[in-house]
Amino acid sequence: MRFLALFLSVLFAFQMTVCPVAMADVSYDAAGGPKGEAPVNKVGSLLLAGGLAVMAGTAITIATASSSGNVTQLSGNTFKTSVSGNTVRGQAYFDNGPKLSQIDAQSNSDYVELTDGSRVNGPVSNVTNEALRCGGQEIPMSSVASIHSARVYNFTCTTGANPKMSFTPTAGKPVAVKPTKTTKSSGEHSTATKVIVTGLVLAGVACAIAIPIAICCSGGGRKNNNNQLANALLLQQLSHRGRTRSYSSSGP
């Protein structure tokens, strides 16, 4: 019984939070823009549990359901809206709400491309149907070809009962910076290899020069020794002849 009571209470709470979202509807007025409520599960990479987009003319609020009611997460305004069949298309600019810093982190560059092909770097702010500010200058919307900002999203929303709404970012994702590795680069390895090879070549050349010189020196030493030996023998023979002559002259 306790389990059944707990299950019924959870089911009742689920119906109280989900059913109002599912039964919301959206209409479009050419003069006033979209009006109504539509369920939203994410804005860019910002996930929303029980999210709800509330639109009234150019004003838009993104809220999440809670036990005490809807809690605003983002707020701003819509611009460049149009309708085709039962689908509303346009752009939304968010400039307030506790989740604003989270969508700001989804991009690291704001810029506007103009109809003349030039580009103005951001930040982008104060976006309306008539104009916007980018890089500190006021730009009329008639001169804007495209907006790239973390706070600006393209959206589509179906009209009628049980509408479906989705948001896509206009800005690119931030580039992740990879940590720098301390390993040697290929250029450093190549330089070290060249130094080693050059050293080996020089050592080989030095050996090629030194070995013949050593051989020549060694051969020259043997020749000197042979010459000294020959001179000694010659001196001995001359000395012997001298003694023989002396002996002969001193005889009877």
Question: 78 and 28 in one domain?
Answer: yes
Question: 135 and 101 in one domain?
Answer: no
Residue 9 lies in a domain: no
Residue 93 lies in a domain: yes
Rounded mean pLDDT, 36-41: 95
Rounded mean pLDDT, 226-242: 57
Rounded mean pLDDT, 52-79: 93
For residue 137, name the pLDDT band (cuts at 50, 70, 90). Answer: very high
pLDDT above 70 for 153 = yes
Rounded mean pLDDT, 122-142: 96
Residue 214 lies in a domain: yes
To the nearest whole number, what is the mean pLDDT of the chain? 76
Question: 92 and 37 in one domain?
Answer: yes
Taking only the tens place, the pLDDT of each residue in 43-58 is: 988 999 889 999 998 9
Count structural domains, the chain.
3
**The predicted structure's pLDDT at residue 225:** 53
Domain stops at, among 149, 181, 204:
149
Return the closest-CA partner of residue 63 out of 35, 37, 91, 28. Answer: 37
Residue 73 lies in a domain: yes
Return the closest-CA partner of residue 74 out of 34, 112, 106, 46. Answer: 46
- More confident site: 106 or 100: 100
Residue 28 lies in a domain: yes
Query: In whole angstroms, what is the distance from residue 156 CA to residue 200 CA?
Result: 71
For residue 74, name the pLDDT band (cuts at 50, 70, 90). Answer: very high
Taking only the tens place, the pLDDT of each residue in 172-225 is: 765 444 443 434 445 555 566 665 656 665 666 555 555 555 555 455 545 555
Question: 162 and 140 in one domain?
Answer: no
Identity of residue 248: S
**The predicted structure's pLDDT at residue 151:** 96
pTM here is 0.61
**The predicted structure's pLDDT at residue 109:** 87
Question: 113 and 47 in one domain?
Answer: no
Rounded mean pLDDT, 119-146: 96
pLDDT above 60 for 245 = no
**The predicted structure's pLDDT at residue 231:** 63
Question: 82 and 39 in one domain?
Answer: yes
Question: 158 and 53 in one domain?
Answer: yes
**The predicted structure's pLDDT at residue 174:** 52
**The predicted structure's pLDDT at residue 11:** 42
Residue 252 lies in a domain: no
Question: 114 and 42 in one domain?
Answer: no
pLDDT above 90 for 91 = yes
Residue 175 lies in a domain: no
Domain interval for residue 238: 194-245
For residue 31, name the pLDDT band (cuts at 50, 70, 90). Answer: confident
